[in-house]
Structure 1
Amino acid sequence: MNFIEAFSRTVRCYSGKTAVITDEGWSETYGELDRRTTRLANALEERVGGARIATLSCNGVLPLEAMLASHKRGVANVQLPFRESQGGIVSMLEPTGASALLFDDSNVEKALGVLDRTDFDAAIHRGDAEVDHEAVESYEAIVENASSEALEPDPAFEHGVFYTSGTTSTPKAVLHDQESMWLGSTQVVMEMGIDESDVALVTSPWYHMVTCDAWMLPHIQAGATMVIQTHFDPDDALELIETHDATGLLAVPTQLRSFVEAQRANEYAVETLSYIRTGGSIVTESLVDDVSTHLTPNVYNTYGLTEGGPNLAYAPPSLQTDHPGTIGNESFMWELRVVEPAETAASLDPDATVGRGGTGEVLARGKGATDGYLGRPEATEQLFVGDWLRTGDIAEVDSDGNLHIVGRADNMIVSGGENIYPEEVEEILEGYDAIEEAVVIGAPDDHWGERVACVACVGAETAVSEDDLDEFCRDHDRLANFKRPREYVLTSERLPRTDTGTIERETVSREFFEIE
């Protein structure tokens, strides 16, 4: 089944129901959303034929309608990250074959720069800003003037192009079709019991897999209402929950921390909030406790990757009580294995599974996986071991068979022949009251090969020394001595992260330790 069929069912059942509300005052029903996206699909066909389009936009109506119009065409929408640089976007577009660029008011300057450096057949702007470019058309004008006749979609039934959150090179382009999106969306509806009575706040960037296929599409499939926040702000988001009686929230861990801080300070009325979905980076036990105390006890922790759809594993709230921070185990559409880690796909054995209490790399098998990266055959070859998708993530299997992500295989530090996953050390360090966040890396060492080094973000008014942290680590009963940092840098500045909360380790290594 393709997702556009699921959307058509929603329109038949809930045509007059509100589909989307934005913090800018726009709203439309499912019937209106259906009619507008048909017109947009026709307008795009007139301008670029069967070519793909690209969308550069903050959260709002534009990316939602562009995705659904692309479903109706059966041709992908390239989901561009609006936080990327102009040059980065130009590089990211190269393997996609996109022929039209859609953009909003917040991205006018960047979009015009991209247009001047690329060869698009069409450029379409939605918003009130004055755009001085002869090739740019008005979004609302083309929608109003386009045909309302249904299209025959391309049999490829593409959904769109996502990007991996690369921090050291151009992010890799990942194509998913609508069957993959429907599988992922259906899985999330099943996991969380989403139905037409739900009101979901959309506040994380739309172009990420987790926001798109683990949040927006499932709520559309169920006929629920989405409240879209254009630019993330925790206080404004909590006010939207209060105003619209929102029942659900998706937030990556960095966002959840800011939600907790805002709620502690202002105590918004969020009693209607019945579930929170999180993931994207490691969720700590302390964060689960804080969210349960200040927002809702119903925390769904999930684990996935762009190449595999919305998530491979999930842990319902009931698991967080006895296994805080776990990602649970395989979701409905996936089979998972945890195997002995290896440096390359060729040297990895998918049958070398680890037992309970063991640690290894997560492999996944399911129909929701991508076929590979656009224009990157060598990277695609490393992505699979037979029909198993290689995640590159390291998980510990607890005594009940639940998985706990402890780090990335490519982040592993080898010190004196011992393997150390920095995320494990970071979680312990962040349990020290004075530390707001910590990053652990491997610094070159003539004797040990690598030594464990730490950058700790502490409050500007906090008095803490390297000796204090070293004593804390020496005394901690969960930290082996060989994992203890031998070098510290203390800073009051926030550490660099991607917008899904992933630490930019290469940036930390370069800026704090001058490691290239």
Structure 2
Amino acid sequence: MNCIDAFDRAVRCYPETDAVRTDDGRRYTYAELDDRTDRLANALESLASGERIATLAHNGPEAIETMIASHKRGVGNVQLPFMSSPAGLAGMLEPIDASVLVFDDANAEKALDVFDRSDLSMAVSIDGAETNREAVYAYDELLDDAPAGRPESHANEHGILFTSGTTSASKAVPFDQDQLWYGGTQVIMEMNIDHGDVALLTTPWYHMVTTAAWILPHLQAGATIVIQESFDPPETLRLLDEHDATGLLAVPTQLHALVDETKRGDYELDALSYIRTGGSVVTERLSELVNEHLCDGLYNTYGLTEGGPNLTFADPETQREKPGTIGKESFMWELRVVDSAAHAGSFDPTAEVDAGETGEVIGRSPGMCEGYLGRPDATRNLLVDGWLRTGDVARVDEDGHLYIVDRVDNMIISGGENVYPQEVEEVLATHDAVTEVAVIGLDDEVWGERIAAVVRTNEADLCEADLETFCTDHDELADFKRPREYTIVEKSLPRTDTGKIRREAVHTEFF
């Protein structure tokens, strides 16, 4: 069984059910989506038989269609992150060997810049922009002219996704359809998704979590996906209300924004029964706010691009009992928490830590990747003795539940003591006047690194002395972990579109 087998089953079982709906009113049933993606697959074959395509687009039915059409061709779709720069995107494409770039109007200028910088030979414009240029074709015209019926499959690729690049340059991670079928199946099991569900898609489609934990499982189950082009809290809540949506995927920063918006507007969210989140810490306060204002079905999950299927999940009951936990290993995974090591040569996958201790999360699953494309050294550090190194540090409680502490490479060494920024951030985030916080290490002649915090607040009278007193008096923060320097700001801190703090950007912007 693989992704296209699962889609074919949904088409057979639910041909007249809406597969996708859009925020501009379009609807395609499973039968219609099947026909459109057959035609798109044939059109792409006519342009570049057996060769990969790349897609640079905001959320839309065409992004999902390029994914399914690629499954039908068996040739991977390169899922480009539209927030990256043209130079960055061109660099991502270098090891990929893609021939065709599919782009939408919102990304037309960037797409043509990438086209000129790369070895791409053709482009397809979703909205018809720039089709007066040589080798740029109109998406709808290609579909209209393409024959019906499925082309012969070349292989079993799903496509290529990219790491978030929060601690290093983005890396290309290939997956086949069998690997991501495990991801879809696992999510269906975690949240009991079925063909009656209506799920809102608002996070960028190209991320692994959106692909493997949202789009693919709902298509596999025969459910309906409502597509929002980009996140906007009032519009997100309106779409949830209008479509009686049962499910939502949102990172914690989005959940905070949605909770705030519910206090300003009148939204009926009675149908909403499950919210999937992850990417950054889910605090006890956020969990309470979501239960009060959105729904009581909050699932906290943990994963990474290289993992394919998410590694852990905490169901709503567990999340209420143990706020912030990422739960235990999910259905397709075997996990361990082991002593951290900077390099593969010193890494021991058998050195498991005891309850109450911290270590690096490692795992193995039939759905995980087999390495990075064109990066053999990085692959050797990622995969050791069959185990996937996540680079994430977690604490294990007495019941075996995991709590992410931080990234291994975010660790600050101050006065010879190891400090993980996220531990300090979690304490500062409980201050009533703090809305966002990022902690980093600054070079220091005496301490090696000194701990510094950038704090966002909406209260003009918050000062460094207040924060210093708060941290000094807090019984969960050892003195050596206390920040020695504070910067107080009113603007939002730099984050990735999955809600993770961009620490290098914080350092550059504020220090």
TM bracket, shorter-chain basis:
over 0.9
**Structure 1 residue 154: deviation in Å?**
1.8
Structure 2 residue ranges without an equivalent (≥5): none
Match runs of 1:11-410 below 5 Å: 11-129=11-129, 131-155=131-155, 157-167=156-166, 169-410=168-409
SS at match of 1:463: coil
**Partner AA of 2:124 in structure 1:** I
Equivalent-residue separation in structure 2 for 1:479 and 1:280 (angstroms): 23
Contact 1:314 1:331 in 2 (8 A): yes
Contact 1:40 1:142 in 2 (8 A): yes
SS at match of 2:449: strand
Equivalent-residue separation in structure 1 for 2:434 and 2:132 (angstroms): 48
**Structure 1 residue 416: deviation in Å?**
1.5
Match status 1:511 vs 2:500: no
Indicate the larger mover: 161-170 or 294-303.
161-170
**Structure 1 residue 132: deviation in Å?**
3.7
**Structure 1 residue 170: deviation in Å?**
3.2
Equivalent-residue separation in structure 2 for 1:491 and 1:328 (angstroms): 34
SS at match of 2:422: helix
**Structure 1 residue 169: deviation in Å?**
4.7
- Cα RMSD of the aligned pairs, angstroms, is 1.1
Indicate the larger mover: 290-299 or 199-208.
290-299
Deviations 1:384-421 (A, max 9, x none): 11100000000000121100001110001111221111
Equivalent-residue separation in structure 1 for 2:102 and 2:358 (angstroms): 45
Equivalent-residue separation in structure 1 for 2:397 and 2:445 (angstroms): 36
**Partner AA of 1:472 in structure 2:** F
Deviations 1:478-514 (A, max 9, x none): 111111101111111111111011111011112222x
Indicate the larger mover: 198-207 or 417-426.
417-426
Contact 2:76 2:160 in 1 (8 A): yes
Equivalent-residue separation in structure 1 for 2:443 and 2:74 (angstroms): 50
**Structure 1 residue 152: deviation in Å?**
2.0
SS at match of 2:391: strand
Contact 1:163 1:172 in 2 (8 A): yes
Q: Which residue of 1 is the match for residue 492 of structure 2?
A: 494
Runs of 4 or more, structure 1, over 6 Å off, are none
Equivalent-residue separation in structure 2 for 1:390 and 1:398 (angstroms): 21
Equivalent-residue separation in structure 1 for 2:443 and 2:316 (angstroms): 41
**Structure 1 residue 447: deviation in Å?**
1.6
Equivalent-residue separation in structure 2 for 1:476 and 1:47 (angstroms): 63
Equivalent-residue separation in structure 2 for 1:194 and 1:152 (angstroms): 31
Equivalent-residue separation in structure 2 for 1:316 and 1:179 (angstroms): 26
Equivalent-residue separation in structure 2 for 1:159 and 1:384 (angstroms): 21
Contact 1:47 1:121 in 2 (8 A): no
Q: Percent identity?
A: 58
SS at match of 2:345: coil
**Structure 1 residue 310: deviation in Å?**
3.2
**Partner AA of 1:474 in structure 2:** T
**Partner AA of 1:293 in structure 2:** E
Equivalent-residue separation in structure 1 for 2:358 and 2:52 (angstroms): 42
Equivalent-residue separation in structure 1 for 2:135 and 2:285 (angstroms): 52
Equivalent-residue separation in structure 2 for 1:77 and 1:86 (angstroms): 19
Equivalent-residue separation in structure 2 for 1:349 and 1:98 (angstroms): 38
Contact 2:128 2:139 in 1 (8 A): no
**Partner AA of 1:494 in structure 2:** S
**Structure 1 residue 454: deviation in Å?**
0.6
Equivalent-residue separation in structure 1 for 2:247 and 2:181 (angstroms): 20
Equivalent-residue separation in structure 2 for 1:233 and 1:252 (angstroms): 13
**Structure 1 residue 305: deviation in Å?**
0.4
Equivalent-residue separation in structure 1 for 2:270 and 2:239 (angstroms): 13
Equivalent-residue separation in structure 1 for 2:257 and 2:472 (angstroms): 30
Deviations 1:403-456 (A, max 9, x none): 000111000111122111101110110111111101101111112211111111
**Structure 1 residue 201: deviation in Å?**
0.2
**Structure 1 residue 84: deviation in Å?**
1.0
Match runs of 1:403-422 below 5 Å: 403-422=402-421
Equivalent-residue separation in structure 2 for 1:214 and 1:475 (angstroms): 41
Equivalent-residue separation in structure 1 for 2:291 and 2:11 (angstroms): 35
Match status 1:483 vs 2:465: no
**Partner AA of 1:453 in structure 2:** A
**Partner AA of 1:336 in structure 2:** L
Equivalent-residue separation in structure 2 for 1:154 and 1:463 (angstroms): 64
TM-score computed with the length of structure 1 as normaliser: 0.97
SS at match of 1:427: helix
Count of residue pairs the alignment pairs up: 511
